Amino acid sequence: MKLQPCDRNESFCWDDIGWHEKPGYPPLEGCWIHIPCKESDLPEIFFCEDHDKTRDEPPPVICFGSGRDSHVQLDARFPQRLCRMTKIQRQGWSLEALTPRWQVHLQRAHGPCETLDVGQPKHLRDGDVIGFSMPLVASTSFRFHSEMLEAKEALPNRYPARFPCRSSLPEAPEAPEELRRLAWQTDQMRRRSEQDQVRVADWSNFSQYVKQHYSKHGIDCISWKLTRNKPCDPKPASFTSRQLPPWICELLVNERPLQGLCRELPFASCLRASGHSPLLPEAVSMETSRVSVADESVVPEAMPSQADIVANEVNPLLLQPIYDWLESVDDSGFLLQYYDQIVANFDSLKQIHDVYFHDGHLEEHFFSAAGVSKLGHKRILQKWFREHFT
């Protein structure tokens, strides 16, 4: 992009010592400005749009005025902030007036002369004339030259801006007011929960409130319950056995499995590939069982064999998921508000039964851990355990 004074027919040579880089404050990267000549009151401005330091940055803003912080400094007769030019992503440059005390005019290449209103930017086209006086005078007018880049990758602002007030995505639709309020409410719930001011019932009610808004605006969400108990990824192929160095084989060949271990050592296959035979668990168990019968103090008490231990059958009611259990206990669904806290503290219904249910009574510690405070809900759970396990 280039702004050339209308009283000059050609640009300055790049070898001229009048060029200055990064004018104004904050300094504008990729911008060069040439000081005015004797016959002109305006400088010449050149902005490189495919500059390395501006390619992926927020949209550039060039300010005009007599202030010391302006990128294009004008005479003292002009206001400190007169107007500004802004680069809009993929839409070109726009010009906006900043003060009603001075009029900024825009003369189209093929059209009438327009006077800019404060706060209403106008799109610039190649060949337009920007004037600061009426009628337009060449000494106080710029001619706008837009350089179209061929490569799309060279356009600046390919990524979202880091500053919300200068966004590079003006064409993005605004979020509905309901979703904005929902985001604010979610943040308030999070802050209150950090201060221990939110109960489990409050989170349960708020989740239903969020689901209503999601369903209204077509936002799909997958329930956490549906993603549980998914099949695990298949086991990858095992590593093939490889030969070990001799000094490692000397160390591993004397390794003995622990007594009662029914599986071979993890390095047994590598020992076989190296030409050694690992010790078998049976041989070890026979050696370690040789104890003098005369020394009765060494012989431990006989442990019951596995055949003598009769495994108690688990009641199928204890194998059901906790969510289904809460639904079956109370058809109205009032007990579902404790589901999140119960799942967070307990693994299964069988664990609750084994730890907290004794002598036909469900201990009070379970209700504290599950967050059950209402007397009616406690009686419903007590009644269910007594009916099925007493």
What confidence tens digit (pLDDT) does each residue in 299-339 have?
A: 445 455 444 444 457 788 888 898 889 988 887 888 888 99
What pLDDT band is residue 256 in, cutting at 50, 70 and 90? confident
Q: What is the reported pLDDT for 173? A: 61
Q: What is the reported pLDDT for 134? A: 79
Q: Where are the domains of the chain?
A: 2-149, 179-216, 246-288, 316-389
85-130 confidence digits (pLDDT tens)? 888 766 788 888 888 888 888 888 777 888 888 888 888 888 889 8
What pLDDT band is residue 166 in, cutting at 50, 70 and 90? very low
Instruction: Please say if the pLDDT value at position 296 is more than 60.
Output: no
**Chain-centre distance for alpha carbon 189:** 19
The token duo for 266 is 């993890």
51-67 confidence digits (pLDDT tens)? 777 766 777 888 998 88
Instruction: Please say if the pLDDT value at position 232 is more than 80.
Output: no
Who wins on pLDDT, 328 or 225? 328
Q: What is the reported pLDDT for 227? A: 60
Q: What is the reported pLDDT for 29? A: 84
One-letter amino acid identity for 315? N
Q: What is the reported pLDDT for 294? A: 46
What pLDDT band is residue 159 in, cutting at 50, 70 and 90? very low
Q: What is the reported pLDDT for 301? A: 53
Stretch 20-35: mean pLDDT, rounded? 84
Choose from 234-248, 280-294, 340-354 the range with maximum mean pLDDT: 340-354
Q: What is the reported pLDDT for 143? A: 86
pLDDT mean across residues, the chain: 78
Stretch 229-242: mean pLDDT, rounded? 76
Q: What is the reported pLDDT for 299? A: 45
353-386 confidence digits (pLDDT tens)? 988 998 888 888 899 888 898 888 998 999 999 8
The structure tokens 């050609």 sit at 10
What pLDDT band is residue 206 in, cutting at 50, 70 and 90? very high
Q: What is the reported pLDDT for 247? A: 92
- What CATH architecture is 2-149? Sandwich (2.60)
